[in-house]
Structure 1
């Protein structure tokens, strides 16, 4: 109000005080009345504009821009209304010539910086794709920037009932699957019970979250979804749904959620809304197995359960359980995909390409699907997976940064953080964490990720300080913390790097599966990459590699072991999670070993005898190569007809264990285990190229009975342990 002082003072000289006071009071009353009318009119106009934008799918940012303009211009408006008689006559004083243009300029600058990168056009876009019939189709979808994030947390059981407790973390899963059909939404599911954790998970990126309650009584399901404000957890609305058909209730609840998120009917009707029983299963028993990750049990109950086959294939592929099993599961998913939403059908096809090593096809299909669903966690993970397989750090980083800049949610933030670590952009990574630290300063995971970033950057002092804070605020015992302490203590005394990654040339193959690890140096990073998983940066020290998970107390230590010739022949991987420690061994697999095993799978026995004899001499610690050589010699010395009869004698079922012949090859499978081909090394003993550490033995008993049991290789003892207990020693049916 300083700029009103001089004219009021002049008026006081020329006019009696009482008249000046009355005149000033009337002026301000007029200003306030007009300003109030202006605000009401502006608010009404904004409501109308908001309706128009929603009705015609135009960017909602225009409402925000107009609001900034209407509010921002108020200082200039007040000046004008108070001095309108003079200003209307074209008489402007210096202060008005400065303040009014400056006010308008300031509004323009703020709007430019706040909304300069925002999409101000349509909220939808049209994409084209080729359907399974080879025809080009067009589909209008909501742009990623305008989709509504909606975390769905597990539902609490009102009356404790162990028989139905599994539903608590199933309702949120199936709701997520049902809601993701609508491309206006970005649903996600979490298993979180605590309200504070729910708020911390959702408040940064999302306006709402869903949780709720349920109970089952006399075959009647009662589910109460609650829509909440993500900033404080306050309830916005709730509704009770009851009935004997669980799947129909889920369909009704998803409609209730969409209606209360402000999605108009016209937009909802843009997308196909399939029933959840068509997407998943109509069997509650199969659904229970699927929710508990018992996928094979789920498909036994419902052999058309495509999602269970897909999830099983994904899990098998991620941990390289066995190519035969991966192909079987993905082929079954593909066979039963007809009723699924288009995006899940494409997901099945993407994984089929990956499992069949059609990487280029997979990459093209993933990129196409990301046009339609740019924030689909599965598609983004698959593209990151492809970049990891090809060691493309630049592609990984570009993809992650573009995702995060378009949509800032937790998943994208985590991916972007890892990409910054890969690119060694440590300052940006730390600055990113500081943003979350401001919003959630007393969160253990945020502090752990911050400490991890300092550790990876080499700032040992700050890493030590942050880990000290974590230990003070959230004290708990864990192997992770002990390993970090050892690393920090080592780095404080030894600044020089004592590690030669070139000596690790080649892959390292698991003895219990087909999983491979590769170690390499890229962009000054010491990298570890498990086949079919993402690549990670490690911390080298004292002839070891330490790999840590940023936000939770887990990781792995890679210890390299040498043979009598001082060459590295295997790596001992110690995986730790809290206080659980598991040790796995991976043996070096150079090109000569890979080539020989490829020929062995193709049954090229004639040229393999000398090859494997040389490998046995070259790699004396690779005990499984000796067994492969035994197999070659046994097959070459056994008559073909005799070998066929040997197979036929043992095929059949042994309780839940099955052996059969397919295309002149002998296969084995046990419930929930991987399908493998088995190869004879004697009349009664067989090996597998999928699981080196397991042999399969048959015992011929009196009265034409045959028993089957397994032997497992004990790496510490360097001997085979025979398993002849009740669950392993099985008679042929």
Structure 2
């Protein structure tokens, strides 16, 4: 009768088989990894197979130990349970881990049509397989105020350059200390880029570092020298690209335009551009297409003026051939938006999003288009899909807003918890749960989270007080449809052409800002609504004021950030006001006069309606020849102010940026011999001091809403002598 092997010998044999299995599995994985890279197939297969190979080990150990018996198909009860259970667990874990992962090719072919109508196709890397990383500022070794702009200019231009390569997904970030860099980059990326620079005898010396996002450890670095900083940025771009992209022959290749080509050869123009002084940037280089484009996007976002929007869009489109292909697409989209061709813009944006699904610019435009039509289903689904496709800070912020709109509170709370697990010591992410908890009605838990955040960040008191007001109110007051519906309406800014639509959807108060996005607001008082958290960098409070019959007719907007505050007023627009404006815009002055008289009767506190009526009455009281002469006399330069005639209309634009403000092109409408209103910044009147009937000085009156009166500004920058 054969002797049974000892347990020790059986375990030794088992371990030998296991070692052989591990070596074979590891060798196979190395081959698979090589094959996947060479033939552009999803690298997730390596991870999936690794989980399977490791997960099956419990069953293999049992098999190797009892192979003599099992080979004879003699299975004990425990093995009949463990083997299927092991397989089911592996299937469950791999489904959870890889169920939403793309296991196909890392590339895809897209079809597109050129402006000339030619149909083309291109092979691009799918976004899921692009290497994502932040690029932080390059720190100066010595303080030099004249070159300080380079600190934030190098990383901005580097990212613009790198974005041409669709194997990469770089993002600009402006944190300066290591702790903030690690915190920001570590959530969703494995690496980040930063650097340092100095200037010696007109030679730029830049050192770029590629670091691990979790530890800030340098994994590669290189120093570049030269007399042209823009050429050096091109070299750094090559260095970064070589570190983050595969050398395989079938990796998609992309056109790489030099920084000078898609920006400007004028370093002064680029300095103005980095400082967001786009007016002076194009003054230095009138072909600076990227400056026109960025200025146009900003003007469109904040509705500074329709004339300015179209001027900037036209120039960006005119010089678009200097831009990378994706930016050329932005220029065309901007032109369509500026001229209210929203259907064309939507189609173009969707084409661009096939190439860059998570591109912030294109997504903002699409959100804006969906917001205009209150297409909440498409609006929120876009955010959910973007988050599923790519985990990033921007996509996370959009997901929060979308989940609040859907009232999907438990889902977003779970997602925030999952992100928190990436950094258990984080002092910020947990506070993002504040608004979902408030809107869910869990005020007690929301208060605990808010108190913890305030304890950790006492320096953010200005921002956190907005949520203090909401929490204090909601402890004793429950939001109702009746309370929320009081805020509904269509409003316009006192300081720009920006408009706001506020309405109730299900149980949530929603707020759409023209050319921006939809945001959920929280009831914080009988006449107060708020949004935002200090952890996201901005909070907003809107205080509404009732008229004699108790209906809101105006709101005061307070915006708080860490480094600045902002205040504005906005007026509620009813049908009579909107009808008056349409008639005035179409120059139907007789009908507009009747309409404005009716609108003033209905809205007596809307002071600017009286100005529009004054304009109508004035131009009807003066013949066209005398009116043209009056307008033409104004034409000229008064300090930074420029006035000119165009198509029989008088226009104004301040040529200089002031305290970060950019002044739009505005049409001026006469209400007397020396005073002019406008429909862009309705709180400003432009006036002139006359000598022998001719303007010699320019100054501004501003309307005080609190005191309900016009006042001449006594600031030094208000009155300017004519200089031509």
TM-score if structure 1 supplies the norm length?
0.92
* CA shift for structure 1 position 488: 2.1
Give 1:591 deviation, angstroms: 1.9
Q: In structure 2, which of residues 274, 278, 284 is the aligned counterpart of residue 301 of structure 1?
A: 284
| Aligned counterpart, 2:296 | 313
Q: Per the alignment, do residues 158 and 266 of structure 1 end up closer, same or farther by CA in structure 2, a change over 3 Å counting?
A: farther
Aligned match of 1:572: 556
Alignment check: 8 A CA contact 1:544 1:560 kept: yes
Distance 2:366 2:45 in 1: 34
| Residue 559 (structure 1) aligned with residue 549 (structure 2) | no
Correspondence 1:398-417 to 2 at 5 A: 398-417=381-400
The match for 1:607 among 591, 616, 630 is 591
Match of residue 97 from structure 2: 114
Aligned mates of 1:698, 1:515 — CA distance in 2? 28
| Counterpart residue number, 2:676 | 686
- Please list the CA deviations of residues 141-189 of structure 1 after superposition, one character each: whole Å capped at 9, or x if unmatched: 1112212111111122222322222211122111211111111211111
Q: How far 1:495 moved relative to its partner?
A: 3.4
Task: Pick closer, same or farther for the CA change 1:570–1:96 going to 2, 3 Å.
Answer: closer
Contact 1:677 1:688 in 2 (8 A): yes
Alignment of 1:281 onto 2:264: yes
Q: Cα gap change, 1:592/1:95 in structure 2, threshold over 3 Å: closer, same or farther?
A: closer
Taking the aligned partners of 1:31 and 1:383, their CA distance within structure 2 comes to 60
Q: 1:658 aligns with which of 612, 626, 642?
A: 642
How far apart, in 2, do the equivalents of 1:624 and 1:447 lie? Answer: 45
Question: Structure 2: 5+ residue runs without aligned partners?
Answer: 656-661
Q: Secondary structure at the match of 1:141?
A: strand
1:656-705: CA deviations, max 9, x gaps? 22111111111111114110111111111111111111111122236977
Does the C-alpha gap of structure 1 residues 170 and 32 become closer, same or farther in structure 2, counting only changes over 3 Å? same
Q: Secondary structure at the match of 2:523?
A: strand
Greater shift, 558-567 or 160-169, is seen at 558-567
| More relative contact order, 1 or 2 (CA 8 Å, 6+ apart) | 2
- Whole-angstrom CA distance in 1 between matches of 2:553 and 2:78: 82
Instruction: Give 1:202-221 correspondences, 5 Å limit.
Output: 202-221=185-204
Q: Deviations over 1:231-261 (max 9, x none)?
A: 2222211111111121221122112112112
Which residue of 2 is the match for residue 370 of structure 1?
Answer: 353
Q: Give me the whole-angstrom Cα distance separating, in 2, the residues matched to 1:655 and 1:533.
A: 34
Q: Which residue of 2 aligns with 1:627?
A: 611
Partner of 1:447: 430
Task: Show the 5 A alignment for 1:667-706.
Answer: 667-671=651-655, 672-701=662-691, 706=696
Alignment CA distance shift 1:604-1:108 (3 Å): closer
1:379-408 alpha-carbon deviations (Å, 9 max, x no partner): 112212222222222212211111111222
> 1:728 and 1:78, CA in 2 relative to 1: closer, same or farther beyond 3 A?
same
1:378 and 1:389 map into 2 onto residues whose CA distance is 17
1:130 CA displacement? 0.6
Pairwise CA distance, 1:81:
4.7
SS, match of residue 606 in structure 1: helix
Q: Could you say what secondary structure the match of 2:475 adopts?
A: helix
Measure, in 1, the Cα distance between the counterparts of 2:360 and 2:148.
27
Question: How far does residue 724 in structure 1 lie from its aligned partner after superposition?
Answer: 5.7
- How far apart are the structure 1 equivalents of 2:597 and 2:50? 80
1:507 aligned counterpart, secondary structure: strand
Tell me: CA distance 1:105–1:484, structure 2 relative to 1, closer, same or farther (3 Å): closer
Q: Which residue of 2 aligns with 1:3?
A: none
Residue 478 of structure 1 aligns to a residue in which SS? helix
Alignment coverage as a number of residue pairs: 716
User: What does the per-residue CA deviation read over 1:355-389, in whole Å, with 9 as the maximum and x for residues that have no partner?
Assistant: 22222222222122111111111111221222222
Q: Distance in 2 between matches of 1:526 and 1:263?
A: 48
SS at 1:260 equivalent: helix
Q: Aligned-pair distance for 1:559?
A: 2.1
Aligned partner of residue 428 in structure 2, secondary structure? helix
Counterpart position of 1:637: 621
SS at structure 1 position matched to 2:169 = strand
Superimposed CA distance per residue, residues 108-128 of structure 1 (whole angstroms, 9 cap, x where no aligned partner): 443344323322211111110
Select the structure of larger CA radius of gyration: 1
Alignment partner, residue 540 of structure 1: 523
Measured after TM superposition, the shift of residue 328 of structure 1 is 0.8
Q: Which moved more, 1:375-384 or 1:128-137?
A: 375-384
Query: Contact (CA 8 Å) 1:497, 1:541: kept in 2 or not?
Result: no
CA distance in 2, matches of 1:651, 1:664: 12
Which range moved further: 41-50 or 617-626? 41-50
Contact 1:448 1:470 in 2 (8 A): yes
Contact kept in structure 2, 1:128 and 1:137, CA below 8 Å: yes
The verdict on how the C-alpha distance between 1:715 and 1:90 changes in structure 2, with shifts beyond 3 A counting, is closer
CA separation of 1:450 and 1:89: change in aligned 2, threshold 3 A: closer
Distance 1:265 1:652 in 2: 62
Q: CA deviation at 1:475?
A: 2.3
Contact 1:479 1:579 (C-alpha < 8 Å) held by counterparts: no
CA separation of 1:265 and 1:296: change in aligned 2, threshold 3 A: farther
* Residue of structure 1 aligned with 2:36, choices 50, 53, 62: 53
| 1:516 equivalent among 483, 493, 499 | 499
* Residue of 561, 564, 577 corresponding to 1:593: 577
CA apart distance, 1:265: 5.4
2:325 matches 1:335: no
**Alpha-carbon separation, structure 2, partners of 1:165 and 1:334:** 31
TM-superposed deviation, 1:85: 5.9
Match of 1:391 in 2: 374
Residues 194 and 208 in structure 2, CA contact (< 8 A), matched pair in contact too: yes
Residue 39 of structure 1 pairs with residue 22 of structure 2: yes
Q: Is the 8 A contact 2:556 2:570 kept in 1?
A: yes
Residue 254 of structure 2 is aligned with which of 254, 264, 271? 271
User: 2:715 & 2:701 partners in 1: Cα distance?
Assistant: 11
Distance of aligned partners of 1:98 and 1:450 in 2 relative to their CA distance in 1, 3 Å threshold: closer
Inter-CA distance 92–640: structure 2 relative to 1 (3 Å threshold): closer
Deviation at 1:41, TM superposition (A): 3.6
Range moving further from structure 2, 681-690 or 553-562: 553-562
Give the 5 Å matches for 1:423-502.
423-476=406-459, 478-495=461-478, 497=480, 500-502=483-485
Name 1:5's counterpart in structure 2. none
> Which of 491-500 and 357-366 deviates more?
491-500
SS of corresponding position for 1:209: strand
Find the counterpart in structure 1 of residue 118 from structure 2: 135
Secondary structure in 2 matching 1:240: strand
SS of the aligned residue for 2:273 comes to helix
CA contact (8 A) 1:605 1:632 kept: yes
Tell me which residue corresponds to 2:127.
144
Q: Cα deviations across residues 611-665 of structure 1 (Å, max 9, x unaligned)?
A: 2223333322121111111111111111111111112222122232211111111
Match of 2:717 among 710, 727, 731: 727
Are the aligned partners of 2:470 and 2:523 in contact in 1 as well (CA < 8 Å)? no
**Cα pair distance change 1:82/1:666, threshold 3 Å:** same
TM-score, structure 2 normalization = 0.93
**1: CA distance between counterparts of 2:641 and 2:186?**
50
- Is the 8 Å Cα contact of residues 333 and 348 (structure 1) preserved in structure 2? yes
| Partner-residue secondary structure (3-state), 2:371 | helix
SS at structure 1 position matched to 2:249: helix
